[in-house]
Each structure stands twice: as structure tokens, then as C-alpha cells.
A and B are shown apart, each in its own frame.
Chain A
Amino acid sequence: MSLLSIKNLCVTLGRHRILDAIDLEVERGEIVTLVGPNGSGKSTLLRSIIGAVSPTSGRIYRQQGCRIGYVPQRLSLDPTLPMTVVRFLNLPHRHSRAAVANALAQAGIPGVEQQQIADLSGGQFQRILLARALMDSPDILLLDEATQGLDHRGIADFYRQIDRVRHTLGCGVLMVSHELHVVMRASDRVVCLHGHVCCQGTPERVMASPAYQDLFGLDTADALAFYRHEHSHDHSDSRTHSPAYAAPTCRPSSGPAPAPAAKPVLKQTAQRREPALQLIAPNAEGCH
């Protein structure tokens, strides 16, 4: 049986059918990414897996004793709540000091135990959230736009960390992401969601599928609006398209160099379906 298995899941909130007949499986050690425009039900799907949204029909099966590590889409800490990093990672259960240090190292932000959460930058905070999700050695990691607030270097590092974590913990990863170009490189399987599952499979297959091209390629106005929105929060990741910016110019020497492997994939995509990335990239550049 799969780690996580979703059968014919439907979710209706108010009068709106958010999710319609979703079938999805996640295996141990596999990275599955949900892509889709805003309002396509990606977060609702993750939230129904953790039990925050109850399905209207259908079933969600988790393997017996399957532990979930979850990074929510939004977490705003009230400034009246004092909270050190170490205390945050010990919620709701206490862990040993070594376990905390280990999780922070795995998330790529070691040695910040005693800092106040409020003093962290957005990117550091996302890593703390990842570290917290790793505390219980989860069997499955659910990441809801975990790279928001990270710059392009941070995003590349983040996905490398996720890749490392799934190998060390052997966990399955189900994530929501808008960074299509990185997603296609970092995922084993991509699920294209738009209320229902439009298409799913390996990144190559999904990008070649007409349903995906409909959603991200041909309906350009929609795709552009959706990208503009993203870039108003993050002013650098679109530049990974450009080799000039992808070079590791101001990076500490530790860690592996960022993968320039993006380029062949990008070329491939550009050949296969011209509109999507070509249209997205120049416009995204334009909004800086």
C-alpha cells in the first residue's frame, strides 16, 4: 500500500466545489509536486490530508502510523508572543537538544536555537518551518509553497535540501509550488491540478500534455496574471532563467554549486510548447 492514497476525494466549501474526484498516491522516497493556478485547490488538498478540511466524499488513506510533517502556506506570529526557535521546534512535543540541532542542520540553518522567531528574515523563517516539520522524522512531508520569501539562490538550496532529506529520512514529499522551472527539475512526479487532476506523471510527460499546456501555456492572460502575482512577492527567482544570474557569484564556498541543469530542461520545454515559459519569462522580468 502507498504511504498516502487518496481515492475519489471531493471537497465542497459553501457552494463551490473546490476538489473534484481527486485520485492521488504518494510513495516512500518520492517527491510529488502539485502545480496549478491560484484557487485550483492545491492548499485545500494538503489541508484535507492533515484533517483541517473534511472531505465531502471520497477517502484519504494513510499508512498505519504514518507521521506527517507539515509546512503551512502562511504563518504569522503575533508580535505579542515571544518565541525562541528552540521553543518553536519543541512544540507540541519536547525533543532532545541534539534532535533540534540536527533538524536545524537538515533544514540548512544551524545554530539559531536561541534567536527570537520575530527577528528572523522571511527565508530563515521558512527554513525554521521546514526544520519543525522534520522534528518527528516524518514519513511524509507536506509543503505548501514552502519556498515563498526565498530568493532564487535560496529556492535552489531549499529544493536540494528537500532532496537530501527524502534520501536520509526516506520520506515521501508532497508539495505545492509555483516555481515551475525548479519544480520540473526537482520532482519525480508532477500533478497538475485545476479542481480536478488535469494530468499527472513525470515532469516531461506533464509538460508535454495538452491539459498542462492549456492551463499554463495557451491561456496566457491567466498564466501571466498568476505569475505577476507571484513575483510581486519575490523579486529574484525569475532570473534563474538567465544564465548570467544563475552563476554562483556571491556564495560562500560551502555546499555544492547550484545546478545549472536548469538550462537543458528549459530548452526542451521551450521547444515542446513555445508559449508558456517564453511568455512568462520576459514579462516576469518586466515586473522588476
Chain B
Amino acid sequence: MLEGLILDDFMLRAALAGILVALAAAPLGCFVVWRRMAYFGDATAHAAILGVALSLLMSTSILAGVLVVSLIMATLVTLLSGRGYAMDTLLGVMAHSALAFGLVAVSFLPGVRIDLMAYLFGDILAVSKTDLAIIAAGGVLVIGLIYWRWSALLTATLNEDLARASGINPRREQLVLTLSLAVVVAVALKVVGALLITALLIIPAATARRFCHTPELMAIAAAIIGGVSTTGGLQAAYWLDTPTGPTIVCLATLLFALSTAAARISRLVSQRGSEASARG
């Protein structure tokens, strides 16, 4: 059975696509967690549906449409975030209105009935060779960008003034993140869908936090956890005959719960140990 799995071409493509997206999402997800941008990720991802609808209406490439609309949304949110609006409310409005407008726009499409579920929850098993090439290009671009700007991004995340004093422009670094986020959303749409992209960004990073001492380790651990979640979720979905995107997120969440429990237990054990040694 396992042999059959590996030789199945579409399964191999799906696995590769999943791993690539997980690798790109991991370091970016760490920044999303550190900078508390979870809702920002949501807004960008939900705008993708609007991008899908617009590109179908104008019959352009879906990838380009999603990329452009996500980028516009991310930039808009970045610009507004500096101006003292109540951010959570504003992001809530923008995220869900983008999704709603997208869904309504899709219903106007003449003739074609598109499979909305595929865009909302992903359709990783339908990844074509072209899709895979695009995902690979996007993934490599994002990983390269984050790797190149890593130290500057990290400094700007710690404190903007500290970054300025070191000659780093925090706005430029924010732009790097915004751009990366839009690219990840565009390429991950096929894998986990618009509704679950944020989960793929945040859950592996949050899981990794429990047992990492430096930011670099956390990013690497998040990449591994993300990779395990996507490949494991893919297999589990195949065996259980469940939708793939949600299964991937379920597995990631399971790992998160396990790591939380493990961290709690190890803390209790070490407390016991230190109490015992204090008594002895």
C-alpha cells in the first residue's frame, strides 16, 4: 500500500507541494506570531477569494489575481495599522468583507460553476505540474527573502527604534513581510485553501515555541512540524477519506496540543525534581 502511495504521481506532487508551502510558511509564521499579525494573515488570505473571483471575471490567471488582491489588502492593512485605528475591529471588517464580497462576486460569474470548496479549503490532490512549479518558485522566493532579511526583520520585530539606530528601516522590513505574506497566500491557496492558510502559518510556529531557545531554532522547528503536518495529514486524509486541507490543519493542531501537554508535564517534573533536591 505504501509503495502504491509513493508511486502515485498525484500523491507525490501533493506531498511536494505541501512540504514546500510548509517550509515557506514556517519562518513567515514565526514573524506573524512574534508581531501579533494573525488577523493580518486572515485578512490577506480572505482577500484571496476576492482575487479568485476577479481573475475569473476578467479571465486572467488566478494566481496573478490572487497575488495582486492579497498584496493590495496586505498593503492597505499595513498603511492603516500606523494610524491609530482600532486594529482588531478594522481587520475583522476587512477580512470578512473581503471574503463576503469575493463569494458574492463569484456568484455573478456567467455560465461557469466553479468549485468554491476548492478555493476555501484547498485541493492539494489536484496540484498539477504547473501548480507545483509555481508553488516551488513562490516558496523559494519567500524563503530566500526571509533568509536574506532575517537579522533586520528580527531587529525590527524587537523594537523599531532599536532597528533605526542600527540603520535598518522598519517600514522596509514590514514591506518584506507583507510581500512574503501575499506570495504565501497565493501559493498556499491550492494546498489548504483561503480559510486555513493562517492556521498553517501560526500553528507550527506556536508548537515550536515550546521547546526552542532561539528564533532560528523556532523557525527550523516550525518548518519541520509544518512538513510533518502536511505530509502526515495528506496520508491520513487518504486513509480516512477526509478532506485534505482540514485534515492537515487537524494534525498540526494535534501536534500543538501534544507539545503543550509535554511542556506542562516536563515543567511539573522539573519542579518536583527541584523540590525534592531542595528537601534532600
User: Which residues in A have some Cβ–Cβ distance to B below 8 Å?
Assistant: 47, 50-52, 68-70, 72, 75, 77-78, 80-84, 87-88, 91-93, 116, 132, 142
User: Could you give 14 example pairs across A and B, Cβ below 8 Å?
Assistant: A52-B160, A52-B164, A68-B165, A70-B162, A72-B162, A75-B158, A75-B162, A78-B157, A80-B205, A80-B209, A82-B213, A82-B217, A91-B166, A92-B163
Our pick among B34, B155, B164 for the contact of A51 (Cβ within 8 Å) is: B164
The reply to whether B155 and A92 contact each other, CB–CB distance below 8 Å, is yes
| Chain A hits for B154, CB < 8 A | 91-92
Query: Does more than half of chain B's interface fall in helix, strand or loop, or is it mixed?
Result: helix
B12 at the interface (CB under 8 A from A): no
The reply to whether B165 and A81 contact each other, CB–CB distance below 8 Å, is no
| Chain B hits for A81, CB < 8 A | 34, 157-158, 215
If A82-B218, A91-B151 touch, whether A72 touches B213 (CB-CB below 8 Å) is no
The reply to whether A52 and B213 contact each other, CB–CB distance below 8 Å, is no
The reply to whether A80 and B206 contact each other, CB–CB distance below 8 Å, is yes
Query: Does more than half of chain A's interface fall in helix, strand or loop, or is it mixed?
Result: loop
The reply to whether B164 and A50 contact each other, CB–CB distance below 8 Å, is yes
CA distance A217 to B233 in the complex (A): 70
Beyond known contacts A91-B155, A132-B162: 15 more, CB 8 A cutoff: A68-B165, A70-B162, A75-B159, A78-B35, A80-B205, A80-B206, A80-B209, A81-B34, A82-B218, A83-B215, A91-B154, A91-B158, A92-B154, A92-B168, A142-B165
CA distance A142 to B161 in the complex (A): 12
CA distance A88 to B158 in the complex (A): 9
Q: 1/0 contact trace for B184-223 toward A, CB 8 Å? A: 0000000000000000000001100100111111100000
**Which residues 137-163 in B have Cβ within 8 Å of A in the complex?**
151-152, 154-155, 157-163
B33 at the interface (CB under 8 A from A): yes
B36 at the interface (CB under 8 A from A): yes
The reply to whether A82 and B161 contact each other, CB–CB distance below 8 Å, is no
CA distance A67 to B76 in the complex (A): 35
If A78-B34, A116-B213 touch, whether A52 touches B152 (CB-CB below 8 Å) is no
The reply to whether A78 and B165 contact each other, CB–CB distance below 8 Å, is no
Q: 1/0 contact trace for B169-181 toward A, CB 8 Å? A: 0000000000000
| Chain B hits for A75, CB < 8 A | 158-159, 162
| Chain A hits for B168, CB < 8 A | 92
The reply to whether B214 and A84 contact each other, CB–CB distance below 8 Å, is yes
| Chain A hits for B209, CB < 8 A | 80, 82
The reply to whether B215 and A80 contact each other, CB–CB distance below 8 Å, is no
The reply to whether A47 and B161 contact each other, CB–CB distance below 8 Å, is yes
The reply to whether A80 and B34 contact each other, CB–CB distance below 8 Å, is yes
Q: For the complex formed, measure the closest distance between the CB of B40 and the CB atoms of chain A, giving whole angstroms.
A: 15
CA distance A81 to B155 in the complex (A): 12
Which chain A residue shows the least CB distance to B152? A92
Which chain B residue shows the least CB distance to A93? B151
Q: For the complex formed, measure the closest distance between the CB of A163 and the CB atoms of chain B, giving whole angstroms.
A: 22
| Chain A hits for B151, CB < 8 A | 91-93
Nearest 5 CB-CB pairs, A to B? A70-B165, A92-B151, A50-B165, A92-B155, A52-B164
If A72-B159, A72-B162 touch, whether A87 touches B33 (CB-CB below 8 Å) is no
